[in-house]
């Protein structure tokens, strides 16, 4: 009987430690330390996305990849009720393909693509004026290279770990991405 009690205590301790470790990882992930401005000018903490699988994507309104907004919206609608979110960051770093104001961008996204996932204020994703979020994504993670072009996609797991990066040419609805999203949502 004493051995059974000790075994139960040991098992409980392991599960408690695992739960505490998960919470610690989620709390300490640098991505959750950023507060960003929405297109409407409101502050939004990325910590609000703890426990969700997040796709971070830099966007532009006048790029050859701009039609990916449609694919992003399709992906978002497919997975949003399963714990997935897409967050878009307009940037004017590549060929000046995002010249508009935040209001212009919001109207463009809604009118042309029906974008319903969160979009944030225009930022710089490379260069001397790189936003700290993208500095972190490109130097503080395993993906240590500048953003090459618009519609580069990062996937963040439920614990805030940046686990995948996809170049512009990979459409959001391609199997390469959807399989990874499925895997992350399943907790693998």
Q: Please give the Cα distance from 108 to 86 (Å, whole number).
A: 17
- Which one-letter DSSP state was computed for residue 86? E
In three-state form (DSSP H/G/I as H, E/B as E, the rest C), the secondary structure along 149-186 is CCCCEEEECCCCCEEEEECCCCCCCCHHHHHHHHHHHC
Phi and psi angles of residue 69, each rounded to the nearest 5 degrees, phi first: -55, -40
What is the rounded average pLDDT of the residues 27-43?
92
Does residue 101 fall inside a structural domain? yes
Does residue 144 fall inside a structural domain? yes
- Residue 21 pLDDT exceeds 60: no
The H or E element containing residue 58 is: strand 53-59
Closest of 121, 127, 164 to residue 147, by C-alpha? 127
Does residue 40 fall inside a structural domain? yes
Does residue 7 fall inside a structural domain? no
SS3 120: strand
CA torsion, points 75, 138, 134, 96, in degrees to nearest 10?
-80
Q: Please give the Cα distance from 49 to 184 (Å, whole number).
A: 14
Does residue 10 fall inside a structural domain? no
Domain of residue 41, CATH code:
3.40.30.10
For the question of whether the overall pTM of this predicted structure is more than 0.75, the answer is: yes
Does residue 20 fall inside a structural domain? no
Does residue 6 fall inside a structural domain? no
What are 43's strand-pairing partners? 37
**Strands 53-59 and 35-37: what pairing?**
unpaired
Tell me if 167 sits within 8 A of 155, measured CB to CB: no
Residues labelled as active-site residues: 63
Predicted confidence at residue 25, as pLDDT, reads 43
Q: Which residues constitute the domain of residue 89? A: 29-185
Q: How confident is the model at residue 188 (pLDDT cuts 50, 70, 90)?
A: confident
The two structure tokens encoding residue 75: 């992906």
In the chain, the number of structural domains is 1
- Residue 24 pLDDT exceeds 80: no
* Of residues 157 and 3, more confidently modeled: 157
Does residue 41 fall inside a structural domain? yes
């Amino acid at each position: 009987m004493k051995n059974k009690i000790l075994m139960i205590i040991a098992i409980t301790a392991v599960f408690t430690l695992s739960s505490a470790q998960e919470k610690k990882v989620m709390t300490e992930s640098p991505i959750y330390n950023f507060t960003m401005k929405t297109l409407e000018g409101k502050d939004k903490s990325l910590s609000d996305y703890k426990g969700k699988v997040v796709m971070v994507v830099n966007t532009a309104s006048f790029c050859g990849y701009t039609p990916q907004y449609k694919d992003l919206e399709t992906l978002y609608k497919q997975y949003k009720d399963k714990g997935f979110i897409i967050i878009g960051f307009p940037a004017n770093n590549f060929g000046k393909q995002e010249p508009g104001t935040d209001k212009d961008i919001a109207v463009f996204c809604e009118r042309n693509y029906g974008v319903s996932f969160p979009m944030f204020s225009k930022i710089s994703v490379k260069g001397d004026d790189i936003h700290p979020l993208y500095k972190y994504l490109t130097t503080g993670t395993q993906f240590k290279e500048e953003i090459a072009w618009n519609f580069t996609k990062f996937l963040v797991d439920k614990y805030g770990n940046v686990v995948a990066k996809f170049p512009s040419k990979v459409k959001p609805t391609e199997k390469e991405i959807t399989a990874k999203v499925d895997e992350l949502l399943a907790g693998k």
